[in-house]
Structures are given as structure tokens and as C-alpha cells.
Amino acid sequence: MGLVVQKYGGSSVADAEGIKRVAKRIVDAKKNGNQVVVVVSAMGDTTDELIDLAEQVSPMPAGREFDMLLTAGERISMALLAMAIKNLGHEAQSFTGSQAGVITDSVHNKARIIDVTPGRIRTSIDEGNIAIVAGFQGVSQEGKNITTLGRGGSDTTAVALAAALDAEVCEIYTDVDGVFTADPRVVKKARKIDWISFEDMLELAASGSKVLLHRCVEYARRYNIPIHVRSSFSGLRGTWVSNEPLGDQQVEHAIISGVAHDVSEAKITVVGVPDKPGEAAAIFRTIANAEVNIDMVVQNVSAASTGLTDISFTLPKSEGRKAIDALERSRSAIGFDSLRYDDQIAKISLVGAGMKTNPGVTAGFFEALSDAGVNIELISTSEIRISVVTRADDVIEAVRAVHSAFGLDSDSDEAVVYGGTGR
């Protein structure tokens, strides 16, 4: 008998009908002879409604209380889900993050899991129950306060529980059929990926793919927990994310896993920086001290005549104000001319383990963009990823052109594939 951890997102349990549909699916997994642990998010818009209430009461809700508030959402969905399962004649028990042993640090609103002690869950499933666990939440090791894990936290809860319980697989149920070679809303011909490595999935997540969040994939890779991303609305096989493809998974796969895009970032350019040692360090120390996370960094070649250079970097739009303020305060200390802020940018990334041994990939990527008339503003590469920054207006054009050029379109005969058993 295997142990399966399933995670259902808010859109899958948006109303009573959704909860009943999901309950049936869970019972099916149990009937197939598995022990089943389910992680569930808050229903549909519940979290947004709670945030709205908080804002009506206080312009800056305190972290501890905000977490206490938000965790009410999963409490509702998990209790209802357990009821719905019991109504189908199977035993179920719901558990809060705290009861399930999800121990976190004390950083409210974006806590990190530091340990999982799933004793009560183990006992519950060994007694024949289906265990329903609140996603997104835990309890701090110090102070025993309720914490939340931040956006996408329920996926991380599921993977962490799967690791602690030594589950065979962590199934992430969502409202799409799996991970695609590009966002299907942008590229109609995007293909579902049957299998993808943890590394490629990490790059896709870091590049704007929303299906799985980076932290969740990182956790799964560390503990080697296979993830199966699939739709809660169909019975179709979705995308497996793992170290190596399992026996019956699609082993043939493309050099390129997919194209990701991200329009949530802005670009800051620090203009007129003296081209001497320590300048870049001073800028990024200032940014780091302001607790701003940056993404791409590019330094232009220095103009010999002036001895000055420009340094550009990208960061989440939501942190733009904070970064600008911090840099302005340090302008004289660092010694630069001015700042430029641009939030009309898009990042397009090509991800695939195959590209590191295929020198033509980079050239093909730039050619595709050029043919589509898309201008490139910044470039950044890793061994299995190339990212460029373009105008935000060009993003759809650019993604489609690249997707097509690399033979990823679903009706294309030109898919760049190679045989083998993975990487």
C-alpha cells in the first residue's frame, strides 16, 4: 500500500460543489489501496476577502495577527472537505498546520518550514483515516505562534509533508492540465510537458512560470519527492517533476523544456557610476540592506571617454519604491549621476538542460526574436536558461516566436528531441 499526498488549490474547492467533487477524487485514491494525506488551500476568494477585511480595520495589519486571520481560510475548507469525505462513507480527520507538525521560523507572512513532525498524521492514516491538512500554515518553533508560508505556501506544505511521511508521490491538483512549454493563454499551441527535471522546473519557476513556485520545487528536489502536477477537473495524466523519468513516463524529450515569461518585474538603471572597484558592491549592498530581492544584473561596458558606466538590474515591481528610496539616500556615498525606473518591461526565458551542449540554441533564440522585430534590452544566461528583457508590449509576440522557432508548437514536426533515459 502506497502513501500519496494530494494538494488541492483554492480554485478546486471554490464552492460546495467543488468540495464534493474533490472529495470523490480523494476517496477514489483511497479505494485504490493508498494511504491518503490531503493538503488543501482556502476556498476560492476567501483569502482575498480576509485581506480586504484586514485593510478595512488597519492600514498596516500586524504580521502575527494577519497570519492568525488568514489561517481561518484553510480551517474552513479543510473541515468542509473532511465532512464531504465522511458523507461518502469514508473516515477523514482535518488537522491545522500546527496539529500536523508543520514547524516554521518566526517570520510572519512568509515563514519557512524548518521541520515537520507528522506524528498525528501518521497515527490518523494508520487508523484508516484520510488526513486533511491545512496548507499554507504552520506554528513557529519559538513562541508557538501561528505562521503562514506566503504565496504558494500550500504546495510547499504538501511537498514537506510528503517528504516527512516518505510518500511515493506528491500530487499537486490545479486548474490546468500540467506544466506547459509556454503559457497556454499566450501560446495556443503550447504543449503539456510529460516529464521535466527538477532543475528545468526550477528555472521555469524562477522565470515566471506560475504552475509551481520555486520554493516548492527546491524542497522536492532536496528530498527527492516526485511531484505530479495535474488537473482536478479531469482524470488526465499531468506533468511529472522528478530527478529521472519513471518507467512508463515519456523519456523522449526536447532539448528545450519550455518558454517562460514574466511581466511582474521592473528595471532600475543606475546611470553614471564611476568605473572602479567597489562601486557595484556598494550599490548592491544598499539594495540588500533594504531587503529587496533582485533578479537579473547587467553592467554595460564603460565609456572610455568618461570613465563612467551604467548598471541595470531587475526586481519585482512591488519593491521598486523601496529600492529607489534606498539608492537615493546613498547617492552621494556611492557617487552616481541618476536613476532610471522602467516598469514597462517583460522577461522572456528559454529553459532546457539540452541547451548547454547545443551552442546553436543561444543564436537561434536571438534570431527568433530579431525575426519577430523584438528588441533586446538585457541578456542573462545560466547553463540551462537564457533570459532577455524586452518591452512589455512585445511579450506575446516574443514568446510565440521563440516557442515556434524551437519546434515546441503542438502540431510541429520539427521538435528538437533526443532519445535517452533522461539526463
Report the residue number, 87 or 117, with the smaller CB distance to a second copy. Answer: 87
**Closest separation in Å from C-beta 168 to a second copy:** 27
**Closest separation in Å from C-beta 11 to a second copy:** 17
Report the residue number, 108 or 191, with the smaller CB distance to a second copy. Answer: 108
**Closest separation in Å from C-beta 21 to a second copy:** 11
Output the CA–CA distances (angstroms, integers) from residue 12 to 45, 89, 226, 296, 405, in the order listed. 12, 21, 22, 35, 35
**Closest separation in Å from C-beta 158 to a second copy:** 19
**Closest separation in Å from C-beta 157 to a second copy:** 17
CA 191, CA 410: separation in Å to the nearest integer? Answer: 5
Report the residue number, 73 or 178, with the smaller CB distance to a second copy. Answer: 73
Report the residue number, 64 or 210, with the smaller CB distance to a second copy. Answer: 64
Do β-strands 137-140 and 169-174 pair in parallel, antiparallel, or remain unpaired? unpaired
**For 21, how many CA atoms within 13 A lie in the half-sphere containing its CB?**
15
- What cell numbers appear for 113 in the block? 518550514
* Length of the chain counted residue by residue: 423
**Closest separation in Å from C-beta 382 to a second copy:** 42
Q: Return phi, psi of residue 35, to 5°.
A: -80, 135
Q: Return phi, psi of residue 230, to 5°.
A: -150, 170
**Closest separation in Å from C-beta 66 to a second copy:** 7
Instruction: Tell me, letter by letter, the H, E, C secondary structure of 37-91.
Output: EEEECCCCCHHHHHHHHHHHHCCCCCHHHHHHHHCHHHHHHHHHHHHHHHHCCCC
What is the torsional sign of CA 382, 383, 384, 388?
Answer: positive
Which spans of this chain sit near a second copy (rule: CB under 8 A)? 16, 19-20, 50, 53-54, 56-62, 64-66, 68-69, 71-73, 75-76, 78-80, 82-84, 86-87, 92-94, 96, 99, 144, 146
Report the residue number, 57 or 333, with the smaller CB distance to a second copy. Answer: 57
**Closest separation in Å from C-beta 109 to a second copy:** 13
Report the residue number, 133 or 176, with the smaller CB distance to a second copy. Answer: 133
CA 423, CA 245: separation in Å to the nearest integer? Answer: 9
Report the residue number, 20 or 267, with the smaller CB distance to a second copy. Answer: 20
Which residue(s) pair with 303 in the sheet? 308
DSSP 375: P
Report the residue number, 82 or 389, with the smaller CB distance to a second copy. Answer: 82
Report the residue number, 146 or 348, with the smaller CB distance to a second copy. Answer: 146
CA 193, CA 361: separation in Å to the nearest integer? Answer: 20
CA 235, CA 85: separation in Å to the nearest integer? Answer: 19
Question: 287: Cβ–Cβ under 8 A, 6 or more apart, which residues?
Answer: 294, 313, 315, 323, 326, 327
Q: Minimal CA–CA distance to 173: which of 130, 112, 235?
A: 235
- What cell numbers appear for 13 in the block? 474547492
Cα angle vertex 170, ends 222, 134, to 5°? 100
**Closest separation in Å from C-beta 25 to a second copy:** 15
**Closest separation in Å from C-beta 7 to a second copy:** 19
- What cell numbers appear for 396 in the block? 506575446
Report the residue number, 60 or 363, with the smaller CB distance to a second copy. Answer: 60
